Structures are given as structure tokens and as C-alpha cells.
Amino acid sequence: MKLAISGRMDDETLAFGKQLGATDVVGGSYELPKDRGYFHFNDLLWQRQKIEAAGLRWAALEGVPAEWSDKIKLGLPGRDEQIENWCKTLRSMGEVGIPVLGYFFSLRSRPGNLGLRTSKSTQSRGGALVTSFDYELIKGARGDYWDPPVTHAEEITDDEMWANHKYFLEAVIPVAEEAGVKMGLHPDDPPISPIAGVARIFRNHEALKRHIETVPSDYNGLGFCHGTISTMEGGDVKDAIRYFGERKKVFYVHFRCVSGTVPAFEETFIDEGHTDVRASIDVFKEVGFDGAMIDDHVPTLAVDTEDRHAAHAYALGYMKSLLDAVR
């Protein structure tokens, strides 16, 4: 298992990660041009060179802009053009040598996040601020909750979303195989449905199993979010690690902790929450997972930088000690 950083890939962040003992990067899309509708070879090459100059490896690209795939997800006219652009990104990644593309199949909300929350000011230990979610607060939301807004229908059902997902995978996974780039799906966060009239299909363990079975391939798997899967009803996160890890479907990991499951939960410090993080690491080791792991959704501390370097340092240091302990 490899300690990784995410976020902005400026010189300061890269040096920060290296100093904390990270070896890898997950993300890397913030600074890339987004005017083409896909990631171009030259832009990816420059970014990879910058990461490697800092002594790190680019383990996975995350952060595909939501407007590059909204028609794919909703089955709208123009989705074939978006799929073709997605394939251009995969081919560019393969040529540059980036092994994994992480993505969501859920929509972006107007606040700008894919991991939807109803509060960013919930108080945690010592008054630190964390994000939280309460389904009751957004049950009345409609299509203009989304960005871009969903205006073509009052409701999008599970069956429609599954059909759109299958259409997408059948088109892109063969290209991913040719390019040598694995595609890791992030579960819907929060894992509850519907929100604002749109079904969210990746909300439980069975749905994630169906995902990898829809188009069976070594290149079709998960960006395994420990926090999101911990908030799912009716399943233990360790069972999910074991099931998908044994099948080599965990391509990288978001490692964070939460308190509670849907319909309401809140983020926590990495040493709190309702999961035993040491037990989770033990299972990752048991199944032979050797990919990148990032910290995720860290609290806002009383004293910190705008990019929350202190909070990230705390989480990464805790993760490093766990990884060292099981090696």
C-alpha cells in the first residue's frame, strides 16, 4: 500500500506530500486545461513530468469535469460526442503512462461538489468543522439543484440510470483496455436515492458488484471510497474491501472516516468514526492490495492554511503509521 496525496499539484503541495512520506499522487486535474472537453496528451505529459520531478508517481487521474459527462449519465443527445471525448482522454492517458482514471457516475450539485453535503460547518472534536449530510433537508430539491440543471424530465429512474451506465461502459471499457488504463468508479456519495429527482444507483454493495459485472474486465473496477462505503446501509466496509480486493477491483483508495450511515451522517477525524481503521488496513493487506491511498475530506482546524495543510498532515501521518504497522 502506498501513501498518496491529492489536491492542487503546485510545487508547494508536491513538496509537502513528499516531506510527509507520500510516494504517489491521486488527482492532478485542477491545473489542466478544460476547454477541449478531454485531457490532451501534452497537458498530461507536462503534469506527469512535474509530479515526477518532485519525486512522486502519478497513480491515478481524478477530476473529470462534470460537464464533460452529464449527457452520458442522463442519456441525453450529445452523449456519443462526450463518450468519444472520454475515449480521447483514455488514449492520452495511455500514451503518457497514467494507469488509472477515477470518475463518478453521479451528478454535480450547484455548490460544486460531487460528494453532496447539507452542511460544511458541523462542529466536531474541539470545535473543528466537518461536513455532514441529512437527507431530510434536501428531499424537496428538484432539477435546478444540479449543475448543469436537469430540466428534461421530472424523474430519472434506477432502470434508466443503469441503462445509461451500461451504454457508457460498453463503449469505453474496450478503449480503456487498448490504452492500458483502468477505470475506477467512485460510489455515489451520499449513497442514497433519489436526490432532486435523479436516481443514484451506486448506493450499496450489491450495486457495486453489479457495476463490475456489467462489463467484466480487468480495467473495470472501483476507486474505493472507505468513507462513502462506510455510510451505506446494510453492509460492513471490511466485507466490501475483502470482496472487491480479492477480485483485484480496488484500483486506489480514498481513506476517511464517518459517524453514522444514511440517511444522516457526518465526517470525522481519521481516528474517530464508527469504523475500525486498523481493521480495514489489515483487510487491505490480507487481500494483497498494493495501490495508492489518499486522505480525504479532512476537518477544518482552528489554525491552518486555506488548503488545510495541518489537517492533511495529521491524517497522512496517521495513515502512514497504520501502513508502517502492517508492513
**Digits of tens for pLDDT over the chain (327 positions)?**
999 999 889 999 999 999 999 999 999 999 999 999 999 999 999 999 999 999 999 999 999 999 999 999 999 999 999 999 999 999 999 999 999 999 999 998 876 676 799 999 999 999 999 999 999 999 988 888 888 888 766 689 999 999 999 999 999 999 999 999 999 999 999 999 999 999 999 999 999 999 999 999 999 999 999 999 999 998 899 999 999 999 999 999 999 999 999 999 999 999 999 999 999 999 999 999 999 999 999 999 999 999 999 999 999 999 999 999 998
The pTM of the full predicted model, rounded to 2 decimals, is 0.96
**Angle (deg, nearest 10), helices 205-214 and 158-179:** 50
Q: Residue 156 contacts by C-beta under 8 Å, 6 or more apart in sequence?
A: 74, 150, 194, 197, 198, 199
Which pLDDT belongs to residue 290? 97
Q: How far apart are CA 204 and CA 192, in angstroms?
A: 9
Which pLDDT belongs to residue 296? 92
Which pLDDT belongs to residue 114? 63
Which pLDDT belongs to residue 152? 65
Residue 273 CB-density burial (10 A; 0-12 exposed, 13-18 middle, 19+ buried): buried
Domain that holds residue 192: 2-326
Kindly report the CATH number assigned to the domain that includes residue 282: 3.20.20.150
Q: What is the number of structural domains in the chain? A: 1
